[in-house]
Amino acid sequence: MKKNNIELEMPSKLENIKIIRDFLRKYLEIEKIGKKSSLQLISAVDELVTNVVEHAYKNKENEDNKIKFLVNKKENKVYLTIEDFGTGFIKNENNEKDPDRGMGLKIAKGMVDEFKVVNKSIGTKIEIIKELK
């Protein structure tokens, strides 16, 4: 873990979505992030963590199914990473991402300034950056 990074790792369970949301809310409050940016970041993270619970592990709650959450503020930017160790993105028969899926990703992407999906050999990592005005 890098200096000043705050990291949580917990089981992928519905009740843990609230814990991550509340943790982020408190972090943003301590860092004195404005209300609009805070709401956008919390909404984006909520969508992404919900996707992990619902899709990465196919709604199977198990102590081994983990969500890793990392947050860091540097100067005028907040950096967030949400990582899972699940099945990755569902592909169609042509090994392409299904165009009818991913509404949560589109919502999250629209609330931040940079959005990167990293497909890993096991799971997915999403990195987002929000510039603070």
Domains contained in the chain, CATH given: 6-131 (3.30.565.10)
* Residues 113-123: tens digit of each pLDDT: 999 999 888 89
- The tokens for 32 are 């004195």
Cα gap 5→99, rounded to integer Å = 34
**pLDDT reading at 4 higher than 80:** no
CB 87 within 8 A of CB 121: no
CB 86 within 8 A of CB 66: no
**pLDDT reading at 1 higher than 50:** no
CB 97 within 8 A of CB 89: yes
Select from 123, 130, 133, 125 the least CA-distant residue to 7.
125
Q: First and final CA of the chain: distance in angstroms?
A: 27
* Residues 31-45: tens digit of each pLDDT: 999 999 999 999 999
